Amino acid sequence: MQFIDQAEIQVQAGDGGDGMVSFRREKYVPAGGPNGGNGGRGGSIVLQADENLQTLLDFRYMRLFKADNGQKGGTSNCTGASGRDRIIEVPCGTMIYDLETDELIGDLTTHGQTLKVAEGGKGGLGNHCFLSNRNRAPENAFPGQPGELRSLRLELKLLAEVGIIGLPNAGKSTLISALSAARPKIANYPFTTLVPNLGVVRKPSGDGTVFADIPGLIEGAHMGIGLGHDFLRHVERTRLLLHLVDVTAEDPIADYQTIQGELDAYGRGLSDRLQILAINKLDTVDPESEEVQAIASQLEQLSGTSVYRISAAAHMGLDSLMQRVWQELDELKSQEDEELQALEQLQSTPSLVES
């Protein structure tokens, strides 16, 4: 399955039905008066988040979506049938922009969440609505209003609490396969992973946490070089970054600085995101060697935090690494809960009005 995380579509809501001009004609009822009904409302376009979808691939092959038109009003003051709304399912994490103004219309993050993006046209008035003392036999009715037409840009940002970052071949895919049931393609060459991979990692409490392997970050990624520019947006939603450095690389220190530079250049707060740093592939070297010790020491000085020493392939050091991940996530959640409670308390406190 192709991973498509951007798409442009056009949506056309249904037109409202026309009002009807009609007069009551029954035996023994002279001058029955107008009885033309109103037109029905046109159907609207509604986007709905679906947790079973992972990509915007379907929108590559179908880009125009129309809702049903409303029906014309009938006799006996009967209103025409309304057009059915068109429900379009999108993956959770989809952001919807107006293509012409680039305005963010909405962000669908939870399963079942809906967003109306195009309003159906109102039905026209039938001639019974124009009856008055001065006009006892109106012969005019209004046409239905046209439905809203919009061009939209859909942008998918994966919903993951932990993003795994690092240069190509740092062992990101191996780590996510070691921690979860995800089985991404793994090979001993750069750019093996061409799309983000998601894996659910179980906490000791039994709850699941989504990890995302963010591929293709290289120098210049923020300018569109390589694959990183396409996938840096998926880091935006993560609460915690797990940064892997290949200890067998030619210059692990430069590799770390390259990724940090790309996060800083991309902006949007990525460089300030909480990071846990780990040097990987210790099964291929002597973990106690002076070279490894020097690399770890330099990284600790640059990052200002402790550096974990792991081997994703050999499952070395993963327990202590994950303990730190769970600890940091719990602290972040506690901070968010405290901020939410403070905000709710502030909103519920009546403001003082000076007399």
Residue 182 has a pLDDT of 58
Q: Which of 12-21, 198-207, 329-338 has the highest mean pLDDT?
A: 12-21
Indicate the pLDDT class of residue 21, thresholds 50, 70 and 90. very high
Residue of 183, 179, 226, 177 lying closest to 203 (CA atoms) = 179
pTM passes above 0.85: no
**Mean pLDDT of the chain, nearest integer:** 84
Distance CA 34, CA 219 (A): 74
- Residue 168 counted as an annotated binding residue: yes
Mean pLDDT of 296-304: 91
pLDDT at 225: 45
With tokens 């429900």, the residue in question is 87
Per the annotation, does 280 bind a ligand? yes
What average pLDDT does the segment 297-317 reach? 91
Q: Is 313 annotated as a binding residue?
A: yes
Cβ neighbour number for residue 224 with a 10 Å cutoff: 10
pLDDT of residue 321: 93
188 labelled ligand-binding: no
Query: Known binder of ligand: residue 240?
Result: no
Say whether 122 counts as a known binding-site residue. no
Q: Kindly state the average pLDDT of the residues 95-117.
A: 92
Q: What is the pLDDT of residue 190?
A: 44
Give the pLDDT of residue 146.
96
pLDDT at res. 322: 92
Neighbouring C-alpha atoms within 13 Å toward the C-beta of 46: 16
**35 known ligand binder:** no
pLDDT of 324 reads 93
Residue 217, marked binder: no
pLDDT at 222: 42
Distance CA 17, CA 323 (A): 62
Residue 143 counted as an annotated binding residue: no
Q: Given this model, what pLDDT does residue 1 score? A: 43
Q: Was 193 annotated as part of a binding site?
A: yes
Q: What is the pLDDT of residue 3?
A: 57
Question: b/e string for 169-199 if b means 16 or more Cβ within 10 A?
Answer: bbbbbbbbbbbbebebeeeeeeebbebbbbb
Q: Is 96 annotated as a binding residue?
A: no
194 is in an annotated binding site: yes
Please determine, for residue 56, whether its predicted confidence score (pLDDT) is greater than 70.
Answer: yes
Q: Is 192 annotated as a binding residue?
A: yes
* 292 labelled ligand-binding: no
Q: Which residue has the higher pLDDT, 175 or 267?
A: 175
Instruction: Count CA atoms within 13 Å of residue 294 on its CB side.
Output: 6
Does the pLDDT at position 189 exceed 50? no
Check residue 307 and give its pLDDT: 92
Q: Write the pLDDT tens digit of every residue in 258-270.
A: 888 888 887 767 7
1 or 300: which leads in pLDDT: 300
Annotated ligand binding at 186? The verdict is no
Confidence of residue 81 (pLDDT cuts 50, 70, 90): very high
Q: Beta 114-118 vs 45-50: how paired, if at all?
A: antiparallel
- Cβ contact 69:15 at 8 Å: yes
Q: Which of 3-17, 18-32, 85-99, 185-199 has the lowest mean pLDDT?
A: 185-199
Q: Which of 82-96, 154-168, 212-226, 230-244 has the lowest mean pLDDT?
A: 212-226
pLDDT exceeds 70 at position 353: no
Confidence class for position 145, pLDDT limits 50, 70, 90? very high
Q: Is residue 213 annotated as involved in ligand binding?
A: yes
Where residue 113 falls among pLDDT bands split at 50, 70, 90? very high
- pLDDT-derived band of residue 219, with 50, 70 and 90 as boundaries? low
For 173, residues 6+ apart whose C-beta sits below 8 A from its C-beta are 184, 185, 186, 192, 193, 197, 213
| Residue 329 clears pLDDT 80, i.e. is over it | yes
75 annotated among ligand-binding-site residues: no
Residue 173 annotated as binding site: yes
Q: Examine the pLDDT at 47 and tell me if it is beyond 90.
A: yes
